[in-house]
Structures are given as structure tokens and as C-alpha cells.
Structure 1
Amino acid sequence: MPCRHLSVYSQRAKLGLIVPPTNTVNEAEWMRMVPDGVTFHTHRMKLHADTASEAGRKALMDDLEEVFAMLKQARVDAVAYACTAGSMINPVDSLPDDLTARTGVKAVTTSASIIAALKKLGVTRLSVATPYADRLNEHETHFLEENGFAVEKLIGLGIGASGPQDYVRIAETPIEQVAAHARAAFVPGSEALLITCTDFPTLPLVEQLEAVLGVPVVTSNQATFWSILRTAGIDDRLAGLGQLLRNH
């Protein structure tokens, strides 16, 4: 159980959240999920396109350590680096483990949370919907396959094809378009539908899609929130947010 530094509004846990600079969805969805007595506290950090090279990984870690140091002053119980593409690094636990060791704060990342959630649900065959363009979609497919999952189908909306300046459009995708895109991505026989990107509005769709498709639906924000709650010692089962948070 983490050491507690409780306060009036954070009677059970304080969580730290790191999001990319254009992200406006993550906090909005976490606000709708957070149980009583738990608070979260946010910091923005620039995107890192290169996480594969030694120099790119070092730049990412330097920025994360700086932000962790600031959030640590709020006595948070755990910190989430909530960026799907920016945390798709294998081995999947290497980034959160390195951050925990370097900062002394329990760390979770979105991509490691997604893998943990899918394994907890006991699924391996996936349909995947993203807002991304081809380059990131290919990277995500390889990331999932390297972690033991079969990607039956993965489709994106093509946002970001002309560069990161377009990423702000992800949050502006109408929910009806997100729903249609998710349904188009699903292949019968898949064991789960995965919808990725922490800036992609998906929370109102999770239960609806599970009812229609008959399989668990995992999203970036839902999985990251589930992971940080459990890491912080909060074991609540939360209704209306999909099988992951209801049953695990």
C-alpha cells in the first residue's frame, strides 16, 4: 500500500497525470471516472516523436524526470504518463519501471496499461481503432504483436499525416464519427476492441459498444485510469465504464 499524504479532497489517493500539450480529452474523461476521495493533478509535457533511438529515449526520460519531480512535490501516490504513442516502448514495462526507479514515485504509462488490461481480460485477438495516420498505426501494430497479440484489423482516421500540428484535431472528432470508426474496425471473432489515443473521445461509447459487439472494449484513458487506481491501492469496481473497471 503506498504511503498516504491525505488531504480534505484527497482522502483516499492523489494521482499525478502527464498529458501532451494539445490534449483536452484525457482530463475530461478522468473527471467522469474518478471515485470519491481520489483526486488527480495534471502537468503538460511536449511530445516526443523519437522514442526508439538512444538520444530520443534520453530526451524523453529527461523531460519525464523533470515533470515527475514537480508532481512529486504534491505528494502524489502514483503518476501516469498518459500518451499512447509516446509510451509504446518495448519491453513494455521498461519505461514505467525506469521512471519508478529514477524518481521514487510509482509510475504507469498508457501503453503498458493497455497491455496489462488486455492480459487481465484474457484476450489475444484484437480489432483496433485509432485516430492516427499510417506511420503510427504501423508502429502500434508492431508494438501489440511484439507483446503477444494478434491484430485482426487496425484502422486509423489519418490524423497527423501532415505532421504533429494536426494532432489537436483528434479531440475535435465528433463522437458519432468515433462510434462509426470503432464499429468499422471490428472484425467478428476478435476477442476485444481496442481504441487508442488519450485525446480521442471514447468514454460514452464503451458500454454501448460492448453491448453491441459482445466483447470487452478497452480505451487508452480507461486502461490508464484502471492501472493507476490499482497502482495507488484503490480497488473500487466502477460501473458504467466497461468490463475492465467493472470486473477487474
Structure 2
Amino acid sequence: MKYDLDTGMGTRIGLVVLSTDETLETEARHVLAGRDVGVHHTRIFSDNEVSPANLLSMQERMAASAALLPGELNAVGYGCTSASALMGPDLVEGQVQLAHPGVPVTNPISAVVAGLRALNASRIAMVTPYSAQVIAPMRTFLESRGIEVVHNLSFGETDDRRVARITESSTHAAVTEAAKAAGVQAIFTSCTNLRTFGVIDTLESELGLPVISSNQALLWHVLGRAGTDARGWGPGWLFQTEGVRTAVA
């Protein structure tokens, strides 16, 4: 029997998701449900213990993991905030583009910088699940790009499996506390495994400040890099701004 072919979904994005992550794909469905966007996932092995050495080891596996994504993608997002800060965006992009030459690539920490710039926020408080050894290079990355971290609050959790179980009410309480720091213009909740989509809008309403999470920023930015106007698709003030189509320095 004869059949017809079409071009598939209108926009095609890829996500490289950590093997320990239980949150990114779920929150991506929140943004993309019913949209003319095809989202394709691959997994990259990551150790349960979140440490600088374990995070950096993912660079050895990134190209092979990205190669499992289908071709003809409009953009790819690598889903680890802390590893992206440690490796640097250029290395992440280079490894992904070994499998997908010329395809725009982003990551959560670059996406957060782009989001904060879009919201004109340069003084932030940061809420993370991480140890001090993981937080330090993230602060350095942000501050090297003009983002002043005036306060940091951490759950002190090093097991990524437990991070996925941190309740949104705990994150709500942590963000509320972090927002008390003087001069804060936005709150950044870091980690793609930390659930936030159920509390972002409530927190912004209560605090009168933008709240940016790793997954929110990554999805907003990867859609922007793919040339898709995703305003209104996701939670928070960030998804009321037009996505950035260029890479972040």
C-alpha cells in the first residue's frame, strides 16, 4: 500500500538528560504538551554522588550520548547545571556538535544567564541542593558574566536520587527565605532534578520577584535557540519574554 511522508513536527529539539534525573522530562512535558514541537531525549550516565570530579567525567560520554538523538534537530539542550558551569559552555557545545554539527546547543547555566539578562536582573539569591564544592564554580561562572550572587541557600544534598525527592514545599520555603537578602532582584533555583514548576508562579506573586529555575530557563532558551516563540508556554515571568536565539557569551 502506498503511503505519504511529511516533515514531522514543526520544531525538533533534543535533550541530553542525566541518568539520575527524574524531573527534567516531566517539566518539559508541562511546557510542550499540545505544541508543534518534537522533543527527543537521550540519557547520559551520571553518578549518584554530585561532586566536581563526577560531574566533569560526563564530558567523556557526552558526544556518544548526543549521537543517540535523531538528526535534523533545531537545537539541543544539555541538562546539567553544575556540570555545565564546571566544563564551560564551549566544551558542552563542542561535544554535542561532534554528533550534530552546526546545531545550536545550550545548557542550564547559560540559559539562566540569558534569562536574567532578559529580565534585567543582575543581583540574585541562589537556592541549590549542592555541596559547597559544587556551588563555588557556579558562583564563579555567574559572577564572571556580571551576575552578582548576594546570597546562597543550600539543602546540602550530594545524592542526586534524593534531590529528586525534595518537595516543592521545601523549595518554596527556601526561596522565600533566600529572597530576604538585601538588594535581591531575582531568585535562581539550581538543578534540573529539583522540582519547581508547581511553585514558581506562586512565589513570584508572593515575592514580587522573578524566580528562575534550571529547567524553566533551559526549556525557554533551547526553544529560543530553535527559533520558536514560546511566550506563555511555561511558568514564571521568564516565559513572558521572547526567547533568545543566540548563544550566551
In the alignment, is residue 177 of structure 1 matched against residue 165 of structure 2? no
Given that 2:128 and 2:189 are in contact with CA atoms closer than 8 Å, whether structure 1 keeps it comes out as: yes
Give the corresponding residue for 2:245.
Answer: none
Give the corresponding residue for 1:163.
Answer: none
Write out per-residue CA displacement over residues 11-59 of structure 1, whole angstroms, 9 at most, x where no aligned residue. Answer: x21211111111111111010011511121111112375579xxx96x5
Moved more, 217-226 or 59-68: 59-68
> What pairs with 1:192-231 in structure 2 (closer than 5 Å)?
192-231=186-225
User: Cα distance, 1:84 vs. partner?
Assistant: 0.6
Moved more, 238-247 or 175-184: 238-247
Distance in 2, matches of 1:239 and 1:159, equals 31
Partner secondary structure for residue 88 of structure 1:
helix
Partner secondary structure for residue 172 of structure 2:
helix
Given that 2:63 and 2:96 are in contact with CA atoms closer than 8 Å, whether structure 1 keeps it comes out as: no
Q: 1:81 aligns with which of 78, 83, 102?
A: 78
- RMSD between aligned residues: 2.3
In the alignment, is residue 235 of structure 1 matched against residue 234 of structure 2? no
Aligned residues: 230
Give the corresponding residue for 2:111.
Answer: 113
> What pairs with 1:107-146 in structure 2 (closer than 5 Å)?
107-146=105-144
* 1:101/1:45 CA distance change after superposition, 3 Å: closer
Give the corresponding residue for 2:12.
Answer: 14
Q: Which runs of 4+ in 1 moved over 6 A?
A: none
User: Cα distance, 1:76 vs. partner?
Assistant: 2.3
* 1:247/1:82 CA distance change after superposition, 3 Å: same
For normalisation by structure 1, the TM-score amounts to: 0.84
Runs of 5+ unmatched residues, structure 1: 161-165
For normalisation by structure 2, the TM-score amounts to: 0.84
> What pairs with 1:152-163 in structure 2 (closer than 5 Å)?
152-160=150-158
User: Cα distance, 1:95 vs. partner?
Assistant: 3.1
In the alignment, is residue 98 of structure 1 matched against residue 114 of structure 2? no
